[in-house]
Amino acid sequence: MSIEPVADIAVIGLAVMGQNLILNMNDNGFVVCAYNRTVSKVDDFLANEAKGTKIVGAHSIEEMCKKLKRPRKVMLMVKAGAAVDAFIEQIVPFLEEGDIIIDGGNSHYPDTIRRTKALEAKGLYYVGSGVSGGEEGARYGPSMMPGGSIQAWEHVKPIFQAVSAHVDDEPCCDWVGGTGAGHYVKMVHNGIEYGDMQLICEAYQILRDGLDLSHDEIGDIFEEWNKGDLDSYLVEITRDIVRYKDTDGQALVAKIRDTAGQKGTGKWTVVSALDSGVPVTLIAEAVFSRCLSALKDERVRASKILEGPKNLKFTGDKKLFIKQLGQALYASKIISYAQGFMAMREAAKENDWELNYGGIALMWRGGCIIRSAFLGDIRKAFQTNPNLESLLFDPFFQKALARTQQDWRTVVAQSVMLGIPTPAISTALAFYDGYRTSNLPANLLQAQRDYFGAHTYELLEAPGTHIHTNWTGKGGNVSSSTYMA
């Protein structure tokens, strides 16, 4: 019995994200073929969530491929890593030249580069697409960041842009770039997400421990912040979280153990940036803060023996300080995004990607976890100057940081005096001061390297010429064979 090709796309993986994305595609007029390794989940899905829709199911990879219109489009919504490679291996025998495999998971971008090249060598196209927005985004409109084989874009574009979130009638989805560009941009998105969350948590701790405010009062502050420069999804949900009451009427968040989990995308961002020599200091501190939070028992023991400041409560003008804290949070967010775009710029050079930075800001304006009004300003900056060297060179952000920096410094100083850790807010300020300093003390550092390891140095008057000095008169004149600033 022959099987008619009726489906526009197949989705493999019927966990929450996969199911919601399928329902979203169905709502937008596309016929989707659903498949899952545990095939009983297909029948359950069709009998329940997908009942009354145009969604069809398959009980084998072969059946799934036969139900697809050409060029076949198969989207994987499975765990990153070995599972993706295993499914690709199973799917390829049932595909023909020009067919497309899409990975919508959080794959590491070097894997996507490898898979794109391997499948293109077989005459197939591969798309690695970041999908952000969680369960709700997948169902009603995520931010989507596709990259890989450009030949595939015309075929997946109508589906992706239809199901993605829209802001001002523009889809939060566009082509990112070749090979692993889509998953790279999603990785940086997740790194910025780590930074945003850490910044908000530090502001929360200052309000809770430094200003001794109740969770209801903190909720009111986040509500107010969400009406201005800090208007964003994460500030909005923080307002809701701190106000949420447990059955006994107490704030539920106050009962949650202070140990944060992570899935690795923040770490990937930091490692990639370190490999490229890009100082994403804020994301790094956000990752390390999660690592420190995991040392709960050790921290409890340390809290009993390590001294801090004697006065742990704020004694100044609370209303003024809350305003200053909001400005410090805003300034730090600017640094976080500036660092993220620096990392993307360097990766584009290394991988020969032509990234549309304004388009990326638009993709992040809706549907995703880091969506905020703030991204509209980033998009304008790159629209004005597509070759913008750094967000900090854009007049809007220069003025914003000039306006907020005194409040920012006040918050960092006050937090230090209160003994409240602000690793992300503080490192953002340190980066800003370092970035605007034309003469850093790395001259001494380079002299130290030459002193003990003959690593050489350059003179201001002769950049590019590497010199070694026999600092003690006892060493030799032979310099190290390699040099890295």
What CATH number is given to the structural domain containing 349?
1.10.1040.10
- Of 373, 374, 344, 370, whose CA–CA distance to 356 is shortest? 344
In a domain, 391, yes or no: yes
Query: What does the pLDDT read at residue 103?
Result: 98
Contact partners, residue 344, CB within 8 Å, separation at least 6: 184, 185, 188, 355, 357, 360
148 and 282 inside one domain: no
Alpha-carbon separation of residue 302 from 286, 291, 298, 311 (angstroms): 21, 16, 6, 19
Q: Would you write out the chain's pLDDT as a tens digit for each of its 485 residues?
A: 568 899 999 999 999 999 999 999 999 999 999 999 999 999 999 999 999 999 999 999 999 999 999 999 999 999 999 999 999 999 999 999 999 999 999 999 999 999 999 999 999 999 999 999 888 899 999 999 999 999 999 999 999 999 999 998 999 999 999 999 999 999 999 999 999 999 999 999 999 999 999 999 999 999 999 999 999 999 999 999 999 999 999 999 999 999 988 777 889 999 999 999 999 999 999 999 999 999 999 999 999 999 999 877 788 999 999 999 999 999 999 999 999 999 999 999 999 999 999 999 999 988 888 888 889 999 999 999 999 999 999 999 999 999 999 999 999 999 999 999 999 999 999 999 999 999 999 999 999 999 999 999 999 999 999 999 999 887 666 666 554 54
Q: Which of 193, 202, 267, 333 is catalytic?
A: 193
CB-based contact 422:412 (threshold 8 Å): yes
In a domain, 180, yes or no: no
Known binding residues for NADP(+): 13-18, 36-38, 78-80, 106
Alpha-carbon separation of residue 150 from 126, 131, 144, 179, 312 (angstroms): 9, 18, 15, 9, 57
In a domain, 387, yes or no: yes
Domains in the chain, number = 3
CB-based contact 294:390 (threshold 8 Å): no
- Of 2, 72, 1, whose CA–CA distance to 35 is shortest? 72
117 and 251 inside one domain: no
In a domain, 181, yes or no: no
In a domain, 153, yes or no: yes
CATH number at residue 114: 3.40.50.720
109 and 226 inside one domain: no
129 and 146 inside one domain: yes
9-12 vs 32-35, strand pairing mode? parallel
Q: Which of 124, 146, 175 is the last residue of a domain?
A: 175
Q: Which of 186, 202, 267, 333 is catalytic?
A: 186
In a domain, 4, yes or no: no
CB-based contact 384:394 (threshold 8 Å): yes
Instruction: Give the side-chain half-sphere CA count within 13 A for 294.
Output: 8
410 and 460 inside one domain: no
338 and 445 inside one domain: no
Query: What does the pLDDT read at residue 14?
Result: 97
In a domain, 2, yes or no: no
91 and 196 inside one domain: no
82 and 226 inside one domain: no
- For residue 76, which phi and psi values (nearest 5 degrees)? -95, 125
CATH number at residue 465: 1.20.5.320
In a domain, 1, yes or no: no
Alpha-carbon separation of residue 307 from 311, 315, 316, 390 (angstroms): 12, 20, 23, 41
Q: pTM to 2 decimals?
A: 0.92
323 catalytic? Reply is no
196 and 170 inside one domain: no
168 and 202 inside one domain: no
Beta bridge partners of 372: 232
Domain of 446? 439-484
CB-based contact 153:116 (threshold 8 Å): no
449 and 426 inside one domain: no
Known binding residues for substrate: 106, 132-134, 189-190, 194, 263, 290, 449, 455
307 catalytic? Reply is no
- Of 118, 63, 46, whose CA–CA distance to 88 is shortest? 118
Q: Which of 175, 198, 231 is the last residue of a domain?
A: 175
- For residue 374, which phi and psi values (nearest 5 degrees)? -50, -35
State the Cα–Cα distance between residues 190 and 186, nearest whole angstrom: 6
* Segment (H or E) for 442: helix 442-453
99 and 129 inside one domain: yes
State the Cα–Cα distance between residues 267 and 290, nearest whole angstrom: 11
